[in-house]
């Protein structure tokens, strides 16, 4: 009994500042001070439908909050793309030569993935955390944290729960909730890769694989595999509409 | 001998009981009138509904997959989802089978789906045009468009004060105000001239989001061999443009849908307000629903203002001011006041609007000849886009309505439909398999995901090196847009390949069940996994409505008929039983029972034939008159069922024969029972009853 009491005293829930600190670690690890580009594979499985599979190049300039997604394969989709600029997400379709402003909830290429899955992590800026519990996730001990969006921030989901690996601080699981409290999707990050960045003078973390399960349309799932990453500086022209258009001339 | 005698006696009795027979005959005549008129209306409605639906889109029969998950609904239903009706994998096979069926006159391949049209808000549209003008080097046009964008920004600036009262996000509000201040500043034109495209990019992401969202246009697509469709469906009527030839891509939008969803919302509302005043006798007044609509429309003035080029706006301003009696204020104030129409000035403002303002705005979001960027989710889940030319506007004769959108099917050539439907080809499937194989990996279902992904505990972090495949990616170019999709296609593609459903026109539209049975038998014999349904089933909600209306009408006619028969029966029973004494006398002088019964039946039959002929003549006159003036549909839904705003019934020998036959048969049956009863009364008793 005394031992239990001592153990309870020894373990205390992380403070608010500590929780924000955890989120900042997650954000900082994924942020590169310079540019970022990656080659990703996106696979979508939907009930009663053929599988979809894309290969896309992702270009990021975190300092300017800019993001470009350029679809490379399959051939019929090649040249399609997204551009995030100043809180706007634009989609370009070369078949019709048109741009269109899309929302944060845009299903990238019709898959279960969204802009936030490819963009830099801004959890500490966008959400306020509260501690839920310490739990086990498979073999791992995790801190379960609930996040509520801060006022005036436009995000895909206003409420999020995170399962952070206690040992490494990495996100292992994430659940996104609608305003009503309805669970919308569950995402798993089973492994994280680290790559040294010259511009950051530190390692940049990125998930090796992302598994997204649709909780509304049960049976629909998306797998994202980040195949290659390069952190060398990018041409600023990449983050323009003209660059994406130029790929289809 | 006895028949001649019976006939002579019967004629004599008819004359002898002239008053009584006149009354009975009148009842019978009215009964006949009801029956014949009811049958004529029912048959006319059935013919009108069949013609209305089969000549509009369904054909007499439709063929689709046997294993379809949902029932076919060619004319659509209330939901926004598209039914999964399976596929007809190869049209050529079905064409061959149909050619062997004598009843089949024509085969029209189809497909049903939906798409949206790429769009944007008012500023997006201006900026899109501005980008085009800059890229084309048209500096004059670019200057005018930039001026228009700046005017929009000026108009939005006061809105920020309203937003300030509603929002707690002061930082965003400050950013938005700064954006508007920058765009409206004197130096902005200089900034634009120095670097036009980056400035447009900046306006795209800062200025355009400040306008309200643009309109999303949904299209219910019916893919078809347009040449066969427009030739075969006689209710099709081209209003504007041209029907795409075989081998040409194109789409045809129904007029009512075009007016309702693609017209400038202020103009459309003005049209509807005027219609309610002129056609429905409503008044705007100073309160009430119509007044509120006018006020709401007035607040939508930006839908006009944002589309006016500055030079045009300057020229219009004094004219609008004059219309308003010289009131003060800027263009926004003037437009707002102009649109606040009253009963007194509605006609003059309406005329002014269409004479002076409408020619200077985009009255419709799209116009015939435009290339429409369509977007749809394909069968395999990809988001597919395709530019298809807006070839024309059509109407389905008799389907136009004000209260509801009765005609919602956008017709598109079958080849473009197939592109948007996006059934994966073998080569696409192979490409997909290659992409998947290049990554490898495992599949993990949701049910055991946590064990599969985190059960091993083999470490989470790994260190990797920089990728080296990006030089090749940077050099990639995917080819010009125009090179990917051609405006034309080989016309023979319409004869084979994929369709989702097929309309069948029969040589004899009155032999639908026979045609259905023959075609289904031929399809089954050929081993095709397809089903044949008749037009009512295929039409969807409208078809169900047709069936409901038919049942209701049949019940109504049936009730009328029954009531008539009961009255006839009562009248005849009473008339016969009243003659018990007379029958007793006849029996006393030696008439046999059968002779008495035959005599009474003959008398009734003579009266019934005469009455039925009079009743039928009355019915013919009534139906003839209704056929001349028409029965008004009243509501739009009935106009679809009637095939137009009026039902023009007609009458034929069949209905007259049916009425005369039924009334005579019922009269005979109604006489038979009391006649037998009366004939069965012993003469002594019958004669006593006379005393």
Shared-domain flag, residues B680 and B553: yes
Shared-domain flag, residues B137 and B99: no
- CB pair distance less than 8 Å for B204 and A191: no
A132-135: which pairs have CB atoms within 8 A and are 24 or more residues apart? Answer: A132/A161, A134/A11, A134/A166, A135/A163
φ, ψ dihedrals at B76, nearest 5°? 85, 165
Whether B207 contacts B183, CB under 8 Å: yes
Query: How do residues B603-639 score in pLDDT, each as one tens digit?
Result: 888 888 999 999 999 999 999 999 999 888 877 777 7
Residue B130 domain-assigned (yes or no): yes
Q: Does B166 touch chain A (CB under 8 A)?
A: no
Q: Which of residues 441-480 of B touch A (CB under 8 A)?
A: 441, 443-446, 449-451, 453-457, 460-470, 473, 476-480
Q: Which of residues 261-300 of B touch A (CB under 8 A)?
A: none
Q: Does B521 touch chain A (CB under 8 A)?
A: no
Residue B227 domain-assigned (yes or no): no
| Residues forming a β-bridge with A134 | A143
Q: Which residue of B has its CA nearest to A108?
A: B383
Whether B411 contacts B233, CB under 8 Å: no
A22: closest CA among A200, A162, A174, A160?
A: A162
Query: How do residues B633-666 score in pLDDT, each as one tens digit?
Result: 877 777 777 877 888 999 988 888 988 888 888 8
Shared-domain flag, residues B579 and B628: yes
Give me the residues of chain B with pLDDT under 50, please. 1, 403-405, 691
* Fold category of A15-246 in CATH: outer membrane lipoprotein receptor (LolB), chain A (2.50.20)
> What tokens were used for A58?
């992702």
Shared-domain flag, residues B22 and B85: no
- pLDDT given at position B1: 46
- pLDDT given at position B240: 96
Q: State the nearest Cα–Cα gap between A132 and chain B, in angstroms.
A: 19
Q: Does B426 touch chain A (CB under 8 A)?
A: no
H-type alpha helices, A141-219: none
Q: Does B484 touch chain A (CB under 8 A)?
A: yes
Shared-domain flag, residues B575 and B613: yes
- CB pair distance less than 8 Å for A140 and B119: no
B663: closest CA among B597, B618, B609?
A: B609
Taking 90 as the threshold, does the pLDDT of residue A19 lie above it?
A: yes
> CA-to-CA distance for B169 and B178, rounded, in angstroms?
14
Whether ipTM > 0.90 holds is no
Mutate to test the interface with B, among A30, A34, A51, A204 (most CBs of B within 10 A): A51
- CB pair distance less than 8 Å for A96 and B435: no
Residue B449 domain-assigned (yes or no): no
Mutate to test the interface with B, among A74, A96, A152 (most CBs of B within 10 A): A96
- pLDDT given at position B521: 97
Q: Which of residues 204-233 of B touch A (CB under 8 A)?
A: 204-206, 208-209
Could you tell me the CA-to-CA distances from A223 to A53, A189, A208, A211, B538 in Å, in that order?
9, 10, 11, 5, 40
Q: Residue B481: which of A37, A85, A248 has the nearest Cβ? A: A248
- CB pair distance less than 8 Å for B197 and A39: no
- CB pair distance less than 8 Å for A52 and B381: yes
Q: Which of B504, B538, B572 is the last residue in one of the domains?
A: B538
Q: Residue B454: which of A96, A172, A246 has the nearest Cβ? A: A172
Among all chains, which residue has been given the structure tokens 């046999």? B592
Q: Which of B332, B363, B394 is the last residue in one of the domains?
A: B363
B249: closest CA among B418, B491, B487?
A: B487
> CA-to-CA distance for B569 and B24, rounded, in angstroms?
10
Q: Residue B387: which of A95, A208, A213 has the nearest Cβ? A: A95
- pLDDT given at position A141: 93
Share of residues in chain B with pLDDT > 70 (%): 95
Mutate to test the interface with B, among A32, A84, A101, A203 (most CBs of B within 10 A): A101
> CA-to-CA distance for A94 and A77, rounded, in angstroms?
9
Residue B467 domain-assigned (yes or no): no
Chain A environment of B87 (Cβ under 8 Å): none
Show the 3-state SS of B330-396: CHHHHHHHHHCCCCCCHHHHHHHHHHHHHHHCCCECCCCCCEEEEEEECCCCCEEEEEEEEEEEEEE
Shared-domain flag, residues B144 and B77: no
- pLDDT given at position B482: 56
Interface contacts (A, B; CB < 8 Å): 215
- CB pair distance less than 8 Å for B436 and A165: no
Residue B65 domain-assigned (yes or no): yes
Count of domains forming chain B: 4
Q: Does B240 touch chain A (CB under 8 A)?
A: no
Shared-domain flag, residues B548 and B533: no
- pLDDT given at position B673: 80
- pLDDT given at position B601: 84
> CA-to-CA distance for A206 and B664, rounded, in angstroms?
92
Confidence of residue A5 (pLDDT cuts 50, 70, 90): very low
- CB pair distance less than 8 Å for B373 and A93: yes
State the residue range of the domain holding B88.
60-118+490-538
Chain B environment of A53 (Cβ under 8 Å): 432, 435-436
Query: How do residues B246-294 score in pLDDT, each as one tens digit?
Result: 999 999 999 988 988 889 999 999 999 999 999 888 899 888 889 999 9
- pLDDT given at position A7: 46
> CA-to-CA distance for A122 and B171, rounded, in angstroms?
18
Summarize the confidence of residues A72-85 as an average pLDDT.
Answer: 88
Query: How do residues B674-691 score in pLDDT, each as one tens digit?
Result: 788 777 777 777 667 654
Chain A environment of B443 (Cβ under 8 Å): 45
- pLDDT given at position B292: 94
Chain A environment of B119 (Cβ under 8 Å): 100
> 3-class DSSP state for residue A28?
helix
Whether A76 contacts B382, CB under 8 Å: yes
- CB pair distance less than 8 Å for A50 and B457: no
Shared-domain flag, residues B508 and B633: no
- pLDDT given at position B49: 84
Among all chains, which residue has been given the structure tokens 């022209």? A237
Contacts of residue A59, Cβ cutoff 8 Å, sequence gap at least 6? A35, A36, A37, A66, A67, A68, A69, A70, A234, A238, A239
Shared-domain flag, residues B568 and B677: yes
- CB pair distance less than 8 Å for B377 and A110: yes
Q: Hey, where are the domains in chain A?
A: 15-246
Residue B258 domain-assigned (yes or no): no
Taking 60 as the threshold, does the pLDDT of residue A4 lie above it?
A: no
> CA-to-CA distance for B535 and B518, rounded, in angstroms?
16
Shared-domain flag, residues B105 and B127: no
> What tokens were used for B521?
């038998």
Shared-domain flag, residues B518 and B625: no
Write the DSSP symbol of residue B283.
-
Q: State the nearest Cα–Cα gap between A2 and chain B, in angstroms.
A: 33
Shared-domain flag, residues B622 and B570: yes
């Amino acid at each position: 009994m005394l031992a239990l009491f001592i153990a309870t005293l020894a373990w205390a829930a992380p403070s608010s500042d500590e929780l924000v600190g955890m989120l900042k670690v997650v954000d900082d690890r994924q942020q590169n001070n310079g540019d970022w580009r990656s080659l990703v594979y996106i696979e979508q499985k939907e009930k009663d439908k053929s599988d979809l599979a894309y290969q896309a190049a992702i270009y990021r300039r975190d300092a300017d909050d800019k993001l470009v997604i350029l679809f490379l394969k399959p051939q019929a989709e090649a040249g399609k793309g997204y551009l995030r600029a100043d809180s706007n997400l634009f989609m370009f379709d070369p078949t019709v030569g048109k741009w269109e402003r899309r929302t944060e909830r845009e299903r990238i290429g019709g898959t279960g993935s969204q802009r936030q899955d490819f963009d830099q992590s801004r959890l500490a800026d966008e959400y306020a955390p509260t501690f839920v519990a310490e739990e086990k996730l498979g073999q791992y001990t995790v801190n379960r944290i609930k996040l509520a969006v801060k006022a005036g921030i436009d995000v895909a989901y206003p409420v999020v729960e995170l399962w952070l690996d206690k040992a490494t601080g990495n996100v292992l699981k994430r659940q996104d909730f609608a305003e009503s409290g309805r669970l919308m999707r569950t995402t798993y990050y089973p492994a994280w890769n680290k790559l040294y960045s010259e511009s950051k003078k530190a390692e940049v973390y990125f998930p090796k694989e992302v598994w997204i399960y649709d909780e509304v349309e049960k049976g629909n799932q998306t797998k994202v595999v980040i195949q290659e990453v390069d952190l060398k500086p990018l041409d600023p022209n990449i983050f323009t509409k003209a660059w994406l258009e130029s790929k289809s001339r | 001998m006895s028949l001649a005698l019976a006939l002579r006696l019967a004629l004599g009795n008819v004359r002898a009981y002239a008053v009584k027979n006149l009354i009975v005959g009148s009842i019978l005549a009215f009964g006949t009138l009801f029956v014949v008129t009811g049958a004529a209306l029912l048959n006319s409605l059935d013919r009108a509904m069949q013609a209305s639906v089969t000549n509009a889109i369904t054909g007499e029969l439709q063929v689709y997959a046997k294993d379809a998950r949902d029932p076919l609904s060619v004319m659509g239903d209330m939901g926004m989802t598209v039914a999964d009706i399976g596929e007809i994998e190869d049209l050529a096979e079905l064409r061959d089978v149909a050619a062997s069926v004598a009843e089949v006159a024509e085969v029209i391949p189809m497909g049903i789906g939906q798409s949206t049209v790429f769009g944007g808000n008012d500023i997006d549209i201006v900026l899109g045009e501005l980008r085009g003008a800059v890229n084309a080097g048209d500096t004059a046009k670019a200057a005018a468009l930039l001026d228009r964008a700046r005017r929009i920004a000026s108009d939005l600036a006061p809105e920020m004060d309203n937003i300030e009262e509603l929002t707690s996000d002061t930082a965003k509000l400050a950013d938005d105000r700064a954006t508007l201040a920058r765009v409206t500043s004197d130096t902005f034109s200089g900034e634009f001239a120095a670097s036009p495209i980056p400035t447009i990019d900046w306006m795209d992401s800062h200025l355009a989001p400040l306008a309200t969202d643009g309109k999303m246009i949904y299209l219910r697509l019916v893919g078809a061999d347009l040449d066969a469709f427009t030739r075969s469906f006689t209710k099709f009527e081209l209003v504007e443009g041209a029907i795409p030839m075989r081998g040409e891509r194109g789409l045809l939008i129904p007029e009512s849908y075009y007016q309702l969803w693609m017209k400038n919302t202020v103009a459309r509302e003005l049209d509807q307000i005027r219609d309610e005043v002129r056609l429905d006798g409503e008044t705007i007044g100073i309160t009430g629903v119509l007044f509120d609509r006018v006020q709401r429309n007035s607040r939508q003035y930006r839908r006009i203002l944002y589309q006016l080029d500055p030079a045009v706006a300057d020229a219009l301003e004094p004219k609008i001011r004059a219309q308003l009696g010289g009131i003060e204020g800027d263009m926004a104030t003037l437009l707002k006041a102009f649109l606040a129409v009253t009963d007194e000035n509605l006609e003059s403002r309406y005329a002014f609007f269409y004479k002076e303002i409408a020619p200077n705005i985009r009255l419709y979001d799209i116009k015939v000849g435009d290339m429409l960027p369509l977007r749809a989710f394909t069968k395999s889940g990809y988001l597919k886009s395709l530019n298809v030319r807006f070839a024309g506007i059509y109407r389905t004769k008799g389907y136009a309505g004000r209260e509801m959108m009765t005609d919602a099917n956008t017709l598109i050539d079958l080849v473009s439909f197939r592109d948007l439907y996006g059934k994966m080809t073998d080569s696409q499937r192979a490409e997909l398999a290659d992409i998947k194989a290049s990554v490898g990996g495992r599949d993990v279902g949701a049910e055991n995901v946590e064990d599969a992904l985190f059960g091993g505990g083999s470490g989470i972090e790994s260190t990797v090196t920089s990728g080296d495949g990006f030089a090749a990616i940077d050099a990639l170019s995917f080819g010009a847009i125009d090179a990917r999709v051609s405006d034309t296609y080989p016309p023979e593609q319409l004869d084979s390949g994929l369709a989702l459903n097929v309309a069948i026109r029969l040589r004899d539209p009155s032999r639908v069940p026979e045609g259905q049975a023959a075609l289904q038998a031929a399809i089954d014999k050929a081993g095709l996994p397809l089903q044949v349904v008749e037009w009512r089933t295929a039409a969807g909600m409208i078809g169900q409505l047709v069936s409901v209306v038919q049942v209701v009408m049949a019940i109504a006619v049936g009730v009328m008929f029954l009531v008539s028969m009961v009255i006839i029966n009562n009248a005849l029973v009473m008339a016969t039983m009243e003659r018990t004494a007379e029958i007793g006398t006849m029996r006393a002088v030696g008439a046999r029972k059968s002779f008495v019964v035959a005599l009474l039946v003959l008398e009734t039959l003579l009266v019934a034939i005469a009455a039925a002929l009079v009743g039928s003549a009355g019915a013919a006159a009534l139906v003839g008159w209704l056929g001349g003036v028409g029965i008004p549909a009243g509501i739009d839904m009935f106009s679809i069922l009637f095939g137009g705003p009026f039902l023009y019934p007609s009458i034929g020998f069949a209905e007259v024969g049916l009425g005369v036959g039924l009334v005579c048969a019922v009269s005979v049956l109604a006489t038979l029972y009391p006649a037998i009863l009366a004939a069965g009364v012993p003469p002594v008793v019958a004669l006593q009853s006379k005393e």
